């Protein structure tokens, strides 16, 4: 997906289309949006076929999409919409088992921009936080400008040689990545293009709805071919694997190369936060680290990427044209925190080049 956030907000209510095969859920979600003056419910649909037609006829600003529906499921509907009349699609699901989570995460491949949990019941007082997250996510995603997608994703290019020059020899011990909206697909693209086994450990924070990170780790492993696991407190950070921050705790790293999970207040509205991770990496690894800040809303990690740069680390921000939302990387660029601003393909090439340059440093040739 090649997209970026619109620079101007809605001056009129956000037009939302609600898609779910359950009449009760459709009515409940429509009620929630209709209760907020910032939204206008332009229609509902009971299956994917109805959704595709409604998007064409009613031209919503954003679509909330269920996955498991008759006739055409949410995955197929999202793909059809993005190939014909592209509009931001937010997957709203009540499925939290690992098996069921694969479908909404796979829907991101079809063009959906976010996955959010559906309230577990219709008691507004009991589900206030879940409802708030749903409404906020849909409102924010309505501001994302999406473009038409044709067919399936292109195959990842072979990366037998690095395409990004590494002019300084670096003894890199750790790579830290932060991502939010749009991050899952970018992470998949980068990891799938790295040489395997990859000799440098990777730690990452991906903002994702609580309860989804376990399924996300499993999906990312299968989709990228790169081993992924949820980080555990005190474990050693080893090469050949990406360690994802779990729900509800900030992930930091120690000078001894171990994961340290901490209970602390949210930073930039997030637990775990990219800022907390990057700050610890700057302190523990200094110039022996790489920081990568990918697509996402807000400013999480931007200033701390600058702290990593100040300590001598190589710092990279995703470029605007490839970002679903150019908030986090854009703020890093504005602050001068990024040594390089690259597309996902070139980020993967840069990380591969680090390994390539290190191997050459042990041979007779230097990196040119």
Q: Is 180 a catalytic residue?
A: yes
**Residue whose entry in the numeric block shows the structure tokens 């700050």:** 279
Q: Is 123 a catalytic residue?
A: no
From residue 350, give the alpha-carbon distance in Å to each of 38, 100, 201: 43, 35, 15
Choosing from 95, 142, 180, 322, the catalytic residue is: 180
**CA end-to-end span of the chain:** 34
Cβ atoms of 85 and 57 within 8 Å: the answer is no
Q: 203: Cβ–Cβ under 8 A, 6 or more apart, which residues? A: 174, 175, 176, 177, 231, 237, 242, 243, 245, 251, 253, 259, 277, 281
The DSSP bridge partners found for residue 259 are: 253
User: Where does the chain have alpha helices with state H?
Assistant: 23-34, 48-58, 74-84, 98-107, 128-141, 183-192, 213-224, 274-285, 302-310, 328-334, 344-361
Q: Is 66 a catalytic residue?
A: no
DSSP 284: H
Choosing from 61, 95, 207, 250, the catalytic residue is: 207
Tokens representing 306?
């600058």
CA atoms in the 13 A half-sphere facing the CB of 214: 10
What backbone torsions phi and psi does residue 329 show, to the nearest 5 degrees? -65, -35
Tokens representing 195?
């040489």
Choosing from 273, 300, 319, 322, the catalytic residue is: 300
Cβ atoms of 90 and 137 within 8 Å: the answer is yes
Nearest to 305 by CA among 185, 187, 167, 177: 177
Which residues participate in catalysis according to the annotation? 180, 207, 300
């Amino acid at each position: 997906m090649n997209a970026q956030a619109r620079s101007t907000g809605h001056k009129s209510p956000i037009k939302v289309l609600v898609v779910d095969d359950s009449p009760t859920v459709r009515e409940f979600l429509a009620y929630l949006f209709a209760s907020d003056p910032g939204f206008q419910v332009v229609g509902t649909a009971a299956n994917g076929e109805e959704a595709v037609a409604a998007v064409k006829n009613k031209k919503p600003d954003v679509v909330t999409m269920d996955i498991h529906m008759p006739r055409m499921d949410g995955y197929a509907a999202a793909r059809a919409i993005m190939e014909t009349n592209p509009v931001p699609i937010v997957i709203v699901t009540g499925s939290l088992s690992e098996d069921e989570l694969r479908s909404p995460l796979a829907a991101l491949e079809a063009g959906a921009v976010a996955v959010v949990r559906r309230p577990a019941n219709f008691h507004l007082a009991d589900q206030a936080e879940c409802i708030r997250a749903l409404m906020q996510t849909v409102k924010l995603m309505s501001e994302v400008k999406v473009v038409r997608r044709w067919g399936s994703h292109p195959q990842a290019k072979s990366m037998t040689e690095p395409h990004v020059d590494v002019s300084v020899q670096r003894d890199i011990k750790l790579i830290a990545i932060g991502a939010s909206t749009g991050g899952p697909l970018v992470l998949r693209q980068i990891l799938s293009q790295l040489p395997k086994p990859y000799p440098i450990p990777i730690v990452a924070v991906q903002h994702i709805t609580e309860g989804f990170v376990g399924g996300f780790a499993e999906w990312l492993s299968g989709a990228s071919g790169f081993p992924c696991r949820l980080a555990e407190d005190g474990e050693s950070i080893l090469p050949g694997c990406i360690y994802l921050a779990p729900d509800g705790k900030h992930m930091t790293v120690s000078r001894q190369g171990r994961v340290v999970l901490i209970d602390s207040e949210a930073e930039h509205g997030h637990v775990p936060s990219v800022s907390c991770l990057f700050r610890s990496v700057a302190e523990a690894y200094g110039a022996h680290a790489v920081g990568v800040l990918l697509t996402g809303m807000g400013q999480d990690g931007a200033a701390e990427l600058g702290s990593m740069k100040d300590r001598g680390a190589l710092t990279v921000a995703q470029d605007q044209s490839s970002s679903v939302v150019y908030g986090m990387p854009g703020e890093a660029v504005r602050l001068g925190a990024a040594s390089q601003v690259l597309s996902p393909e070139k980020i993967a090439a840069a990380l591969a080049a680090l390994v390539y340059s290190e191997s050459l440093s042990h041979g007779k040739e230097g990196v040119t």
